[in-house]
A = this chain, B = another copy of it.
């Protein structure tokens, strides 16, 4: 388990520097999904022996309070990594997230969203890369999936997943295709993939016709369904996930349709696939930031 593997590095840092690696998470408002993500991140860091600190801001906080919190954390020597949870309250405006990412000290930018870290990724000399695509790469490499010379197709061109994923796979010598909502005949393009990454945020969008038999499919999407009709459309009567929905009143599903399991050579589950690796990468990036700053 990757988080266990990182523990000796945490211990070595702590004994050398007289303090543990420190992560600060800024959370504004009470988005339920954000609450869960942040709790997972803090717990993972805590369990690994890091100092994980939550900076809570009210949903009604002014945007400048977020910037002030970041400025304070930038100068706090015990803080190695700063993470501002997206989305910020909508009242803060459309460009609020990127303005905050721009304000984070690039050396503490464990999310890898600062433009200078993104630029270093393009030039293949970065040390802090966005955690979700980094987690996908780790997952592929740990599963022993060959990347060099393989055709990777990525559906979704976000700054947070699609584009950094493309760069990471390119630097592992894959041939990389980036697809999106404007792509013509998306299923046919996706079927060219040896490795297919779905990162669009539309539940069960990637059906069996998108997948070449035997391809590796990485499902980055995660959506909470709370309508029985949606769940019944995806899973046949008697399917264990229907029972899960009945027990919990909601169900987490990915961008990949359950039928893909029959076609794919390997498929990451949702939940339990990319998510935990993403959390592990928050820990690894915090550690990297701490070591680089020391």
Contact = CB atoms under 8 A, between A and B. Distances in A.
Which of A115, A176, A183, A192: most chain B Cβ within 10 A?
A: A115
A3 B21 CA distance: 54
A123 B149 contact: no
A119 B149 CA distance: 26
A270 interface: no
Contacts of A114: 119
A241 interface: no
A184 interface: yes
A103 B150 CA distance: 36
Contacts of A166: 166, 178
B122 A182 contact: no
Interface of A is mostly: mixed
B173 A176 contact: no
Nearest to A175: B183
Interface in A112-166: 114-123, 125, 148-151, 157, 159, 163, 166
A178 to B, nearest CB: 5
A170 interface: yes
Contacts of A178: 166, 170, 175-177
A149 B182 contact: yes
A180 interface: yes
B149 A184 contact: yes
A122 B120 CA distance: 11
A184 B175 CA distance: 8
A148 B125 CA distance: 31
Contact of A189 (B116, B121, B173, B175): B175
Nearest to A122: B118
A86 interface: no
A227 interface: no
A252 interface: no
A177 B180 contact: no
Contacts of A179: 175
21 contacts: A115-B119, A115-B120, A116-B116, A116-B119, A117-B119, A118-B122, A118-B123, A119-B119, A119-B122, A122-B122, A148-B182, A151-B184, A166-B166, A170-B180, A173-B180, A173-B182, A175-B178, A175-B180, A175-B184, A175-B189, A177-B178
Interface of A: 98, 114-123, 125, 148-151, 157, 159, 163, 166-167, 170, 173, 175-180, 182-184, 189, 192
